[in-house]
Structures are given as C-alpha cells and as structure tokens.
Chain A
Amino acid sequence: MRFFLNRIGFLLLSVWAAITVNFLIPRMMPGSPVDAILAHFQSEGAPLGPNALHALEQQFGLSHAPLWTQYFGYVNNLFHGQLGTSITYYPLTVTEVIGRSLPWTLGLAGTATIISVLLGTFLGIYAAWHRGTRIDATLTTVTMFTSAIPYFWIALILVYLFGFELNWFPQLHAFTTLSNGVPWWRFSADVLYHAVLPGATIVISAIGGWLVGMRNNMVQTLGEDYVTFARARGVRDRRLMVFYAARNAILPNLTGFAMAIGFVVGGALLTEVVFSYPGIGMQLLTAVENEDYPLMQGIFLIIALAVLLANFLVELIYGLLDPRVRQGE
C-alpha cells in the first residue's frame, strides 16, 4: 500500500511540474501570438489594418497581467477541464483541435508501434534461437543499421522512392479528398493506403530496438541452467523456445512497450511533418510557429500526461511482477 501511495504522490508532483513548465516555456519565446499574426500577414504582402494590434489583443484576450496571476488563472482553468481557445484556429477550443488530431496520431503511431513491437519481438526470438547463424547476423545487422538512421530521413527516402519515383503510394496526407457519400469501407481502405509510408517509416526505425533487445535477453536466458536442464530432459525445441526462454526474456520488452505507448501520443513529429499527416505532431509545429500559447500548452500537457501515466503503470507492473521492487522501498 505504501508503495502505491508513494507512486501516486510522485505522479502528482510530476504532473504539477509538467504543468508549470508548460506554462512558462511558451512565454519565454520572444514576441507574442499577435505579433506572429501581424508579421505573417505583413510578410504575405497583405498587412492587416492600422488598428489590428489593438483589436487582436482584445480578441484573443491577451493579458498583460503579471505572470503569476496568469499562472493561477491557467491552473484554475485546468482544474475545470478548460484548456482555453486556440489562437491559430480561433474560435476553436484547444480541446477541439486536439480532439481532431489525436485520433490520427494514435491510429498511425499506435498501430505502427504495436506492429514494430510484435514483429521485433518475434524476430528477436527467432534470431536468438538461431544465434550465430547467417540469419541472426543479417537480421541483427540490418535492423541495427535501420534503427540508427534518423527516422525523418527514412521518411524522405520512402517518399522519394515509393511516392515520387514509383508512384505506388500517396506522398502526403491521411486520406484522399473524396466526394461526400463515400461508403465507410472505401474511406477506411483509403486511410490505410495513406498510412502505409508513414507507418513503414516508424516501423523501420523502431523495429531494431525491439529486435535486438529481445534477442539479447533471449540469448542470456537460453544460457541459464534451467534451459539447459530442460533441454537435457528432452523438452521439444519449439516448446523450449517459446515457453521456457521467450516467456522469461520478454519482460523488459513488455515494460518497454508500456513506455512506448505513452510516447505514441507525442507522435512521430517529423514523420507527420514530412507526410503532412494531420496529427498531434503537425499541430504542435503549427502552434509553435504561431506562438499559439494555449494550443502549445494543451498539446504538451497531453504528451506529458501520457508519458507520466505510462511510467506510472510500468512501475505498478514492475511492483506486481517483481517483489524486490516493492520491498526495496
């Protein structure tokens, strides 16, 4: 019990720290959201009218109040579930904007993460079982190589090869613009089709970590006495591989998976930017470019909460699985 209370306390403290940092960081950027809007229109050659500075400050309710007053207002609003109104998408609220983007990110990065974990773990088991063979060497080397490549670069290569040169897949966006009245299955097929390249980017760059992690754990486990003993007792290979070795070696990957799910919300920012994928990452970029404080805060908050919660869950799981963690308090 003490362990859980302790963890919850730590969670609350981290959330508070995240909220405070979220509030401060956007305000440390030089200029203000209104300056950004005015500069944008001016550089487009169509400057806003002579009273724009004053009018926009009024519209967005930009406060010149002391920072700490603004801070308490912000925290108070958060407690009431209000993230404020986006400036870029005014009058849409931050919640609405995040609500529109989050499903795309969860769908893309979430699915891609699950695929890379499953595929990586399976291949890792396979490689470890055949350790020292050519297959093991190839798998390990290739995935080590791909995971070392910056993932936005993989994205660019994929766009160039399969989008531009071969024209097999769309270069941009999450779906084709279709006439109204398209049956849902056509739309779903279209979304999947558009998700292939960005999804592949994430899988290619992430799979190496899972594969190598699993392989190394597995190799270690296979060297344990109980495995040797089981083999001596005549346990069949497949059974030995899956139920004796893999089952024990998979634990670190499981906890890693919980963490990865937390990071999914942050999205694969650069992948989304390269593919103009309408997820959280793209919105974050837009928010930063426009100094949209409320939207930035909202997105950072969601990301921070997801990561902190994932961490929290991992610790709980560890506590359940490994009594040493609980006792060590």
Chain B
Amino acid sequence: MKRKIVTGGIAGMAALGITALLAIPSMAATTGPSLEIGWGVYSSYTRNFNPFSTSDMGVTLEMYEPLFYFDDVAPKVEPMLGTSYAWSDHNTVLTVNLRKNVKWSNGSPFTAHDVVFTFNMLKKYPAMDTNGIWTKVSSIKSVGNDTVVFKFKQADVPFEWYVLDKTPIVPASIWSKVKGSPLDFLNPNPVVSGPYVLNTFNSQEVTLTPNKDYWGGRPQVPELTVPLFTSNTAQEPAMASGKIAWGAYFESSIQKLYVAADPKFNHYWLPPASPVALYPNLTNPLLAQLPVRQAISYALDRTKLDNLAESGYEPPANPTLLAPRNANQKSWIDGSLPTSDLKYQYDPKKAIALLTKAGFKRNSSGIFVSPSGKPLSFNLIVISGLTDWDAQAGIIATELKAVGINTTVSLVTGSEAYSDELSGKFQLAIGSPGAGPTPYTMYESVFGPVLTQGNWERWHNPTMYKLLNEFSTTNNRAKEQQLANQMESLAAKNMPVIGLTESVWWYEWSNKNYIGWPTPSSPYAAGSSYDYPVAALILSHLRLR
C-alpha cells in the first residue's frame, strides 16, 4: 500500500516537486499506511515529553501508562501496568499486583521499583503532585518485584482513582538521573511502556513507531503521525478529507461537515462526560433562596440550549448531575427517585408562580423584586471563546428575562472566571464539574468541604459532607450505591448548582484504513485522545481493515 504523504499545510507541494522526496520510509518491514491523528491545538511543538508537565506534547499521554484505566463510559476497570488491586486494613492499605514481563522501550524490565520511584518522586517534588497523592498517602513500598503497597493516612477508597489511573509510571533508571526538579526535564527521548515510541520530531510534526516489546503485543499501525494544528478550523478540512483519521475536537455540524464528506468511513461518537452547570453564588441572599433557584431552573428550556448552542450534541443535564446516556454514570442513578428529580422540567409559568408564592413582586419593568425591595438582577460570567457556553449564556439571559429575572452576561477570560470563582466575586457562573469513576468524584468536587476543588457555589450542607465521608471509607458496592442514592436526592432537591447540558467526550474517527475503534456498540473506552490513558488502549486495539 502506498505510504501516505504528510504535509503540515493544506496546499499541494507538487509545485515544488517535494512530494517524491517525502516518501522516505522511516520503518522497514511494516505494512499499512501511517495513521494521522489530530491531537490538540498548539502554536508550535516543543520537544517536551514529560508526562508531569502542563505543557508537554499531547501524545505523551499514550506513551506513559498508569496502573489501571477506570473506564469513563462503562462501569469497568481495565488493567494496564497493574493486573489487580485490593483494599485491606479498614480500607487504609491498597495492594497492587503488577504485570509481569513488561519491558520499557529501552529493553530494561519494568518492576515494582519503578512504581515506588515514581510516587516517591512526587513526594520529593510537591510541585509535581497536582493530584495531591501525598496529602492522602503516607507511604509506598514494594513487596518483591511485582507488588506495591500504598498506606493511606485514612480510609479513602475513591482516591484510588488518582493513584491507579491518574499517575503515569516512569522508568526509575532514567528519571533518577535527572538533575534538579524533574519538572524542568524536557524528556526529549522518552523511554516508555506504552504502545508507541517517538520516531521523529520537528516543530510542526511528530511521528511515532510501534514499541516492539509492548506487553499488549506489537501494535498493528506501523506509524502514527501527529501534524500540528493551530486551530480547530485548520483541522476540520483535514479530518473531513480523511487525511486525519482520529480527532477529538468540537465541531458544530459533524454530520454535515464530517460524516457527509465520506459517510462510509467517517464516524463520530459523543458519550456524555460531565455536566455543564449554572453555578449560583449561594452567599448572595437572593440566590440562597431555593424558590429563586427553582424558578431559574424551570425557566430554562434545556432542549433549546442543546439545539441552539450545542448543535444538538450535548443533551439536557439531569438533576442528579449524572448522565443517563453514560453507561457508567447510569449504573449509579437511583431509578426510584421521583420523576422531578430525574428530569428537569421546562415550565416558565411555574417559575413565575414559585416566585410569586415566595413573596416576590414584579416591578414596573417586569422584574421580580424581593419583599425587602431587592430586584432579581444578576450578572452571569462565562468564559469568552468557549463559543457554545457563550451561546448558552445568551439564551439563559433571554429565558430568565421572560420570567422576570434580569441577567447581564459578562464574557471573561478563563483565568478571570477561575479567579472570580475562587474568590466568590460572582453571582452566576457557567462551569463544568469534572466527573470520575463514581459519583463521589463529582459530588466531592462540587459539594465537598474544600472550596478550591470546585465548590464555587459555596454550598455547606452537613448531610452531604457526612454522606461523602461515609462513601470515601467504604469499599462495598451496595453501600456505595445506597450513599450515592441519598446524595443524588439531596442534590436534585436542593439544587445548589443548576444543570444545563451534558458535555461530551468529543471523538471522530475514520475506519477507512484501520478498524477496532471504540464505538457505541463496542464501548471499551471513551474515544477522546485527551482522556488519559485511553489512547494507549485504543491504539493497541487497532488493526488493518
């Protein structure tokens, strides 16, 4: 099969006769074309393959693997460098069995020492520990070559996610030689455990070749090419033409601009990830009143938000903030909750009735005013440039106005929004709490006692705190479910944040050359390459059509 020619720009290079020159095979004895993938938006590539860096190359995510993958779209855990794990000692000790016969890409064996080294490096350099592992873990040690034991300061079962899934393991033999802080290490020639290794690098393109010793078997795609894209707009035509076979980007009209270009091969799947929500600042005396928040919720037509702002790709959120269309989150939703707690209603009349009943009266310009004379008039901050959120904010303002709530929209930078949310200098904000393998992750972030983790609305509910605490100490699925049910009910009834739509994992692929992609009928992973560590998993599933 003819090797595919790669160009960073879109125009043909034939004019300069460079085409022929590009067809230099970089790997012998492989079949099949190079797989081109779109991996994020950069102004130019920096040769930084440090998985602990915030400015590393996106592809680093497929090179370094964690111990396990907690599936974001299905209730299961996929073993990676680990094979099994167990909690003991009242859920304060986590024992992990490691995969045997794994080799790093330089041929040296992977052992428990590498795992212990990686975690101890985070301890030695707290600036690397973005997950705060060492705020929860007190020690880690190896038992033999294939087992590691984590001791926790106190029982915290849900935190296993950060230890097992969110921490990439690096080879001790390389990283122990790094001088100074490993964060300053660019790791230009990464030695990895994942399915692909670095082949060539320049500031506009990266290529990778299979790791022939990969524990999952040698990957079938002979070469990965990651051309630079400086914007989504630049990536769109390359995706539609089938040049880029794997993407994870927002596209306002996938069917028309992507699928229609090659309906046989171009596909997309957008499983829900986490809710997009309206955060009311509960320290505001008006927003602190439940009827006001309920009225806001009844005033919003979420189907309209989806259709007009999200092109119909991001369905209405659920009052529990969990997504029924996500198989994992669905498994946690308590089906016995009353309908009103399982589905947001759109009923502007009810919104007006609720406000009237709570003693609010409409003033001459039609805005409701509290008994003490304060008008329901709020400022809504939203990050400018996130065009779908910006559009949602506009629709929300219109719909709230219709029920007598005045809203002005302020478009701010991401940094300003974050700093306002941290300091509480806002009235309404649009944000998205991250989801995790269990509802605990999201609830702990949005409703938990640590404000900086995402409790922007500043909801302090002792019952919720107690439930969260109980959840963190149990490892019994039935008990977890029972606690989750109570938390769901509490969240739906108190409406501390108001769900809008469900954000999705953006994922587009072409199976023209390669098959084995995750699909709705084979949902073995979310397809978004940025969902660490799915890329390694997906790439080891691909095979020639």
B11 contacts A by Cβ under 8 Å: yes
Docked-complex contact A46 and B53, CB < 8 angstroms? no
A223 contacts B by Cβ under 8 Å: no
Minimum distance in angstroms from B270 CB to a CB of chain A: 11
Kindly report which residue of chain B lies nearest to residue A49, judged by CB atoms: B131
Bound Cα distance from A32 to B185, whole angstroms: 24
B375 contacts A by Cβ under 8 Å: no
- Residues of B420-448 contacting chain A, CB below 8 A: 420, 422, 431-432, 434, 445
B450 contacts A by Cβ under 8 Å: yes
- Please choose the segment from A122-130, A163-171, A224-232 that sits at the chain B interface, where 4 or more of its residues have CB less than 8 A away: A163-171
- Chain B residues whose C-beta falls within 8 Å of the C-beta of A169 in the assembled complex: 11
Main secondary structure, interface of A, reads loop
Docked-complex contact A39 and B127, CB < 8 angstroms? no
Kindly report which residue of chain A lies nearest to residue B230, judged by CB atoms: A276
- Please choose the segment from B13-21, B88-96, B347-355, B489-497 that sits at the chain A interface, where 4 or more of its residues have CB less than 8 A away: B13-21
CB contact under 8 A between A55 and B383, given known A45-B505, A90-B55, A173-B9: no
Docked-complex contact B130 and A40, CB < 8 angstroms? no
Docked-complex contact A49 and B132, CB < 8 angstroms? yes
Would you give the 0/1 interface string for B129-141, flagging 1 where the beta carbon is closer than 8 Å to chain A? 1111001000000
- Residues of B26-41 contacting chain A, CB below 8 A: 26
B55 contacts which of A49, A89, A163 (Cβ < 8 Å)? A89
Docked-complex contact B418 and A38, CB < 8 angstroms? yes
- Chain A residues whose C-beta falls within 8 Å of the C-beta of B101 in the assembled complex: none
Residues of B within 8 A of A (CB-CB), count: 75
B363 contacts A by Cβ under 8 Å: no
B16 contacts which of A44, A177, A189, A286 (Cβ < 8 Å)? A189
Minimum distance in angstroms from A278 CB to a CB of chain B: 5
A59 contacts which of B128, B205, B414, B453 (Cβ < 8 Å)? B128
Docked-complex contact B54 and A177, CB < 8 angstroms? no
- Chain A residues whose C-beta falls within 8 Å of the C-beta of B292 in the assembled complex: none
B452 contacts A by Cβ under 8 Å: yes
Kindly report which residue of chain B lies nearest to residue A38, judged by CB atoms: B418
Bound Cα distance from A59 to B125, whole angstroms: 9
Docked-complex contact A43 and B432, CB < 8 angstroms? yes
Docked-complex contact A178 and B22, CB < 8 angstroms? yes
Minimum distance in angstroms from A269 CB to a CB of chain B: 13
B431 contacts which of A36, A37, A42, A286 (Cβ < 8 Å)? A42
Minimum distance in angstroms from A319 CB to a CB of chain B: 42
Docked-complex contact A179 and B24, CB < 8 angstroms? yes
CB contact under 8 A between A32 and B432, given known A51-B132, A163-B10, A278-B203: no
Main secondary structure, interface of B, reads loop
Bound Cα distance from A259 to B414, whole angstroms: 37
- Chain A residues whose C-beta falls within 8 Å of the C-beta of B127 in the assembled complex: 55-56, 58-59
Docked-complex contact B21 and A186, CB < 8 angstroms? yes
B413 contacts A by Cβ under 8 Å: yes
- Chain B residues whose C-beta falls within 8 Å of the C-beta of A194 in the assembled complex: 9
Docked-complex contact A55 and B532, CB < 8 angstroms? no
Bound Cα distance from A45 to B434, whole angstroms: 6
Bound Cα distance from A172 to B450, whole angstroms: 45
Docked-complex contact A50 and B8, CB < 8 angstroms? no
A135 contacts B by Cβ under 8 Å: no
Bound Cα distance from A55 to B12, whole angstroms: 46
CB contact under 8 A between A170 and B10, given known A55-B130, A177-B205, A178-B18: yes
A180 contacts B by Cβ under 8 Å: yes
B241 contacts A by Cβ under 8 Å: no
Bound Cα distance from A56 to B279, whole angstroms: 25
A244 contacts B by Cβ under 8 Å: no
Docked-complex contact A51 and B418, CB < 8 angstroms? no
CB contact under 8 A between A90 and B414, given known A55-B130, A178-B21: no
Bound Cα distance from A280 to B199, whole angstroms: 29
Minimum distance in angstroms from A298 CB to a CB of chain B: 15
Docked-complex contact B130 and A173, CB < 8 angstroms? no
- Chain A residues whose C-beta falls within 8 Å of the C-beta of B453 in the assembled complex: 50
Bound Cα distance from A49 to B452, whole angstroms: 11
Docked-complex contact A39 and B131, CB < 8 angstroms? no
Would you give the 0/1 interface string for B399-419, flagging 1 where the beta carbon is closer than 8 Å to chain A? 000000000000011111111
Docked-complex contact B530 and A181, CB < 8 angstroms? no
Bound Cα distance from A38 to B413, whole angstroms: 12
- Chain A residues whose C-beta falls within 8 Å of the C-beta of B503 in the assembled complex: 45
Docked-complex contact A283 and B43, CB < 8 angstroms? yes
Docked-complex contact A31 and B413, CB < 8 angstroms? yes
A65 contacts B by Cβ under 8 Å: no
Bound Cα distance from A172 to B186, whole angstroms: 27
Docked-complex contact B415 and A51, CB < 8 angstroms? no
- Chain A residues whose C-beta falls within 8 Å of the C-beta of B227 in the assembled complex: 177
B143 contacts A by Cβ under 8 Å: no
B162 contacts which of A49, A59, A278 (Cβ < 8 Å)? A49
A67 contacts B by Cβ under 8 Å: no
Docked-complex contact A172 and B230, CB < 8 angstroms? yes
Docked-complex contact B413 and A30, CB < 8 angstroms? yes
A282 contacts B by Cβ under 8 Å: yes
Bound Cα distance from A41 to B204, whole angstroms: 23
- Chain A residues whose C-beta falls within 8 Å of the C-beta of B528 in the assembled complex: 45
Kindly report which residue of chain A lies nearest to residue B506, judged by CB atoms: A45
Most chain B beta-carbon neighbours within 10 Å: one of A47, A53, A89, A289? A47
- Chain B residues whose C-beta falls within 8 Å of the C-beta of A88 in the assembled complex: 55
Docked-complex contact B414 and A276, CB < 8 angstroms? no
- Chain A residues whose C-beta falls within 8 Å of the C-beta of B13 in the assembled complex: 176, 190
Bound Cα distance from A178 to B166, whole angstroms: 35
Docked-complex contact A29 and B415, CB < 8 angstroms? yes
- Chain B residues whose C-beta falls within 8 Å of the C-beta of A100 in the assembled complex: 44, 203
Kindly report which residue of chain A lies nearest to residue B50, judged by CB atoms: A91
Selected A-B contacts with CB under 8 Å, 11 pairs: A29-B415, A29-B416, A35-B415, A37-B54, A38-B418, A50-B445, A170-B11, A172-B8, A176-B13, A179-B24, A189-B18
Known pairs A89-B48, A91-B184 / 4 extra A-B pairs, C-beta < 8 Å: A41-B54, A89-B46, A177-B204, A178-B202
